């Protein structure tokens, strides 16, 4: 497999780069803050010194950037893509990825969106859930690459279908975490032992594994070392609400949750694990 260009080496991007190199793939990296690529460079990755030359020696270009506008701007700097496939893995809106897909086509490239569910641990173990959107032929050509990161990457449909699927899932992250926090706050105030409540919940149809995953963090009020931050959850929920409005859906039940997450802006909670929203479900 030829060299892969990895654009964006934050928490998830770095883990993706590590996994690809473990699978024997040569990786060239670029990040807006160059120091964040150092661990990959130390592990053997090549540095991309100028974005306009990134496509020349790479078979595919993976972007793992914060949002749609940033991705669009960075991809524009790649210049002529010379038929290369660009694989955006960051979460963005349906309109954003559609616009990016058109831009990539104008740059003589091909777009295969591949947003993922999971973060650093799943990337390192190759167990991300990959939801690809694009031409079936592009998916087939890039399937072996995606299989390095996912046990079974799924081709959802055309460009935009992956983004819609990812936003639908991330909405559930926000809603489930919020609802679990409220329930936990109530039973604690009522004097119900947490483990009694959890034993009942675990045997019911209402249980979701994320509850146990976040329980101890909430009990300890410890949200350090996030794999997914409160700020990113807020960004993705806002995108979901925008898409819901466009689709003619009744979104009022979620606007309050977005307002709640807005309260984290400018506080330490924003850069902490998203279940820090537990601190917001109590009236000040």
Q: Looking at the structure, do residues 181 and 241 belong to the same domain, yes or no?
A: yes
Q: What pLDDT shows up at residue 55?
A: 87
* Segment holding 46, helix H or strand E: strand 46-47
Q: Which two tokens stand for residue 24?
A: 């024997």
Last residue of a domain, one of 127, 158, 189: 158
- 226, 167 Cβ separation under 8 angstroms: no
pLDDT tens digits, one per residue of 94-152: 999 999 999 999 999 999 999 999 999 999 999 999 999 999 999 999 999 999 999 99
Last residue of a domain, one of 142, 158, 174: 158
Residue-level length of the chain: 284
pLDDT band of residue 256 (cuts 50, 70, 90) is: very high
Q: Which two tokens stand for residue 47?
A: 């540095």
Partners of residue 113 on adjacent β-strands: 133
Q: Looking at the structure, do residues 178 and 248 belong to the same domain, yes or no?
A: yes
Q: What pLDDT shows up at residue 284?
A: 85
Q: Looking at the structure, do residues 231 and 254 belong to the same domain, yes or no?
A: yes
Last residue of a domain, one of 126, 158, 190: 158
Q: Looking at the structure, do residues 169 and 196 belong to the same domain, yes or no?
A: yes
Q: What pLDDT shows up at residue 33?
A: 92
Q: What pLDDT shows up at residue 98?
A: 97
Q: What pLDDT shows up at residue 141?
A: 97
Partners of residue 186 on adjacent β-strands: none
Q: Looking at the structure, do residues 152 and 28 belong to the same domain, yes or no?
A: yes
Alpha carbon distance 181, 211 (integer Å): 9
Q: Which two tokens stand for residue 245?
A: 């409005």
Q: What pLDDT shows up at residue 3?
A: 92
CB neighbour class for 220 (10 Å; exposed up to 12, middle 13-18, buried from 19): exposed
Q: Looking at the structure, do residues 152 and 234 belong to the same domain, yes or no?
A: no
pLDDT tens digits, one per residue of 159-198: 999 999 999 999 999 999 999 999 999 999 999 999 999 9
Q: Looking at the structure, do residues 147 and 182 belong to the same domain, yes or no?
A: no
Q: What pLDDT shows up at residue 248?
A: 96
Alpha carbon distance 66, 279 (integer Å): 25
Q: What pLDDT shows up at residue 1?
A: 55
Q: What pLDDT shows up at residue 232?
A: 96
Alpha carbon distance 1, 244 (integer Å): 39
- 40, 13 Cβ separation under 8 angstroms: no
Structural domain that includes position 203:
163-280
Q: Looking at the structure, do residues 42 and 72 belong to the same domain, yes or no?
A: yes
On average, the pLDDT of the chain sits at 96
Q: Do the strands 27-30 and 4-7 form a parallel or antiparallel pair, or are they unpaired?
A: parallel
Alpha carbon distance 116, 151 (integer Å): 12
Report the CATH number at residue 23. 3.40.50.720
Angle separating helix axes 161-189 and 252-262, nearest 10 degrees: 70
- Could you give the number of structural domains in the chain? 2
Alpha carbon distance 148, 54 (integer Å): 21
What secondary structure letter does DSSP report for 84?
A: P
């Amino acid at each position: 497999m030829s060299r892969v260009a990895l654009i964006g080496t934050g928490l998830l991007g770095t883990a993706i780069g590590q996994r690809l190199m473990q699978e024997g793939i040569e990786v060239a990296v670029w990040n807006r803050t160059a120091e964040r690529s150092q661990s990959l460079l130390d592990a053997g990755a090549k540095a991309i010194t100028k974005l306009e030359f990134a496509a020349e020696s790479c078979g595919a270009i993976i972007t793992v950037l914060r949002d749609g506008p940033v991705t669009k701007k960075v991809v524009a700097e790649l210049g002529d893509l010379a038929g290369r496939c660009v694989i955006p893995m960051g979460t963005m809106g349906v309109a954003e990825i559609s616009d990016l897909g058109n831009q990539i086509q104008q740059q003589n490239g091909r777009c295969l969106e591949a947003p993922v569910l999971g973060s650093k641990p799943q990337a390192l173990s190759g167990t991300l859930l990959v939801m690809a959107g694009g031409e079936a032929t592009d998916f087939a050509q890039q399937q072996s690459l995606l299989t390095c990161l996912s046990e079974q990457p799924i081709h959802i449909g055309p460009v935009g279908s992956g983004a819609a699927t990812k936003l639908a899932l991330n909405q559930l992250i926000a809603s489930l975490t919020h609802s679990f926090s409220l329930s936990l706050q109530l039973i604690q105030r009522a004097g119900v032992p947490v483990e009694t409540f959890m034993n009942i919940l675990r045997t019911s149809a209402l249980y979701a594994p994320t509850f146990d995953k976040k329980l101890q963090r909430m009990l300890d009020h410890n949200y350090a070392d996030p794999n997914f931050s409160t700020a990113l959850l807020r960004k993705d929920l806002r995108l979901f609400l925008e898409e819901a409005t466009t689709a003619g859906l009744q979104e009022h039940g979620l606007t309050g949750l977005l307002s709640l997450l807005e309260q984290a802006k400018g506080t330490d909670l924003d850069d902490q694990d998203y279940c820090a929203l537990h601190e917001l479900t109590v009236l000040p």
